[in-house]
Amino acid sequence: MMCFLKFYGIWLNIIWLMLVNGAVVDLSTLKSYIVNQHNSYRKSEYASNMIKLTWDEALSRESSYWVEKCRFEHKGSGLGENLYFDDYKKSVKDFVTDALNSWYEERRHWQVSKGNCGLACHYTQMVWANTTTVGCGIKKCPVMNDNGRTIKDTTLFACFYYPKGNMYGSYPFTIGPICSKCPKNSHCENQMCVRQFAIQNSTHPVVRRTSLQPTTTTMKTTTVDSTCVDRLRGCEHWKADCASNHAVRISCPKTCDRCNPPAFLVVSPPTVACEDETKFQRSCNYWASLGYCSKNQLMREVYCQKTCKTCK
3-state SS, one letter per residue, for 11-67:
HHHHHHHHHHECCECCCHHHHHHHHHHHHHHHHCCCECCCECCEECHHHHHHHHHHH
Instruction: Give SS3 for 167.
Output: coil
**What confidence tens digit (pLDDT) does each residue in 226-279 have?**
446 776 667 777 777 777 666 666 667 788 877 644 333 333 333 456 888 776
Task: Please tell me the predicted confidence (pLDDT) of residue 111.
Answer: 76
Task: Tell me the mean pLDDT in the region 187-215.
Answer: 55
Query: Alpha carbon of 40 to those of 191, 270, 276: distances in Å?
Result: 10, 46, 35
Contact 192, 129 (CB under 8 A): no
Which CATH superfamily groups domain 13-195?
Answer: CAP (3.40.33.10)
Q: How far is 235 from 206, CA to CA, in rounded Å? A: 8
Pairing verdict, β 149-162 and 54-55: unpaired
Backbone dihedral angles phi then psi of residue 289, each to the nearest 5 degrees: -65, -20
Backbone dihedral angles phi then psi of residue 11, each to the nearest 5 degrees: -65, -40
Instruction: Give SS3 for 149.
Output: strand
What is the pLDDT confidence band of residue 105, given thresholds at 50, 70 and 90?
Answer: very high
Show me where the domains of the chain are located.
Answer: 13-195, 227-261+270-303
Residue 22: how many CA atoms within 13 Å on its side-chain side?
2
Q: How far is 298 from 260, CA to CA, in rounded Å? A: 23
Say whether pTM exceeds 0.75. no
Q: How far is 43 from 49, CA to CA, in rounded Å? A: 10
What is the pLDDT confidence band of residue 162, given thresholds at 50, 70 and 90?
Answer: very high
Task: Please tell me the predicted confidence (pLDDT) of residue 290.
Answer: 76
Amino acid occupying residue 304:
C
**What confidence tens digit (pLDDT) does each residue in 169-195 have?**
888 999 889 999 998 888 999 899 998
